[in-house]
């Protein structure tokens, strides 16, 4: 298998999530036909499928970050721009929005959430406009 692209990983994450949804439909449709142990097993498997879908989704975000040249520099530049914006802004509501968006980005960085980091950078840039 060749290297997985971010788009392929995202597609796989969606496929696994859809599969979990189908398994959940099965569980509910067949509830009366399943023994307690079977219900528990299917339920636990659905939960595990959703966790794996999240893992694959995170992989997609990681692949996007890996392929982005200068992503750390871009994050640093965006945060620096936000700092400059806050020094000059007179609109308190806008400033609070920028600060909150910066917190979201920092949280994504601290939690090592690649998709959240990308979304956070985009959101912070948008908040600065």
pLDDT at 109: 80
Tens digit of each residue's pLDDT (9 = 90 or more) over 13-71 = 899 999 999 999 999 999 999 999 999 999 999 999 999 998 888 887 777 666 655 57
14 and 60 in one domain?
yes
Does 21 fall in a domain? yes
Same domain assignment for residues 87 and 50: no
Tokens 């609070």: give the residue: 96
Say how many domains are in the chain.
Answer: 2
Q: What pLDDT sits at residue 82? A: 94
> Tens digits of per-residue pLDDT, 69-101?
557 788 889 999 999 999 998 888 999 999 999
Domain-terminating residue out of 52, 67, 82: 67
Label residue 3 left, alpha or beta by phi (over 0 means left) and psi (-120 to 50 means alpha): beta
What is the model's pLDDT at position 30? 93
Residue 1 belongs to a domain: no
Task: Please indicate, yes or no, whether residues 76 and 118 belong to a single structural domain of this protein.
Answer: yes
Clarify whether residues 85 and 58 are in a common domain. no
- Same-domain pairing of 10 and 31: yes
Quick one: 75 and 118 in the same domain? yes
Angstrom distances, CA of residue 40 to CA of 17, 33, 43 = 19, 13, 5
Q: Which domain holds residue 11?
A: 6-67
Q: Is there a contact between 23 and 42 (Cβ–Cβ < 8 Å)?
A: yes
The model carries a pTM of 0.54
């Amino acid at each position: 298998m060749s290297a997985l692209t971010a788009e392929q990983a995202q597609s796989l994450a969606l496929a696994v999530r859809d599969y979990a949804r189908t398994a959940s439909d099965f569980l509910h449709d067949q509830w009366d036909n399943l023994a307690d142990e079977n219900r528990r097993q299917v339920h636990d498997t659905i939960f595990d499928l959703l966790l794996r879908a999240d893992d694959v989704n995170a992989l997609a975000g990681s692949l996007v970050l890996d392929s982005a040249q200068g992503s750390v520099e871009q994050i640093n530049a965006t945060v620096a721009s936000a700092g400059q914006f806050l020094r000059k802004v007179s609109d308190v509501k806008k400033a609070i929005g920028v600060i909150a968006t910066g917190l979201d980005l920092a949280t994504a960085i601290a939690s090592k959430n690649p998709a959240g980091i990308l979304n956070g950078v985009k959101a912070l840039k948008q908040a600065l406009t």
